[in-house]
Structure 1
Amino acid sequence: MSTYQDYQKQIAELQAKAEVARLNEISEAKAKIRAIMNEYGLTLADIGGSPKSMPKASRKPVEIKYKDAATGATWTGRGRAPKWLAGKDKSQYLIR
């Protein structure tokens, strides 16, 4: 009768074999895809793909337009005005 340790060892061996098989199948699939792309003169752009190496554009933070010197509270001027600015003249808090 097999022990728990024996089963764990068999599982590890099977997982290693499965990983090798997966890597082999991936390389075969890539070779087939390259052959088809070369045969028809296709590029990644033709099939709607994009390379993974292209970085995504990052957004720049919005500049602060208003600041309360007493409290240090700030507002970019976008969205609803903060409560500390309600009923006050915005031009007094405008950063110049």
Structure 2
Amino acid sequence: MSTYQILLQQKAELEAQIAEVHKREKSAAVTQARELVAQFGLNADDVFGGKKEATSGRATVAPKYRDPATGATWTGRGKPPKWINGQDRAAFAI
């Protein structure tokens, strides 16, 4: 029957073996990747994709109303601006 100390020693030996094999396989993968990049003339955008612009997650909405005096617009969403508040909105429709 194994004792606690023997099991800990075996664990340490296994972890060392795992680290060595991981290092070897990682090195082989990097070498292979570099060969493919050189063979096909790839760059970072080819491999990882180009940078995409960050979006706010909101869709833009076309304005529905325009103030003829200032040219200000309003989509009809949210709190109405002062120039249209309390008035007939049909007169300001675009």
TM-score, normalised to structure 2's length? 0.49
TM-score, normalised with respect to structure 1: 0.48
More helix by percentage:
2
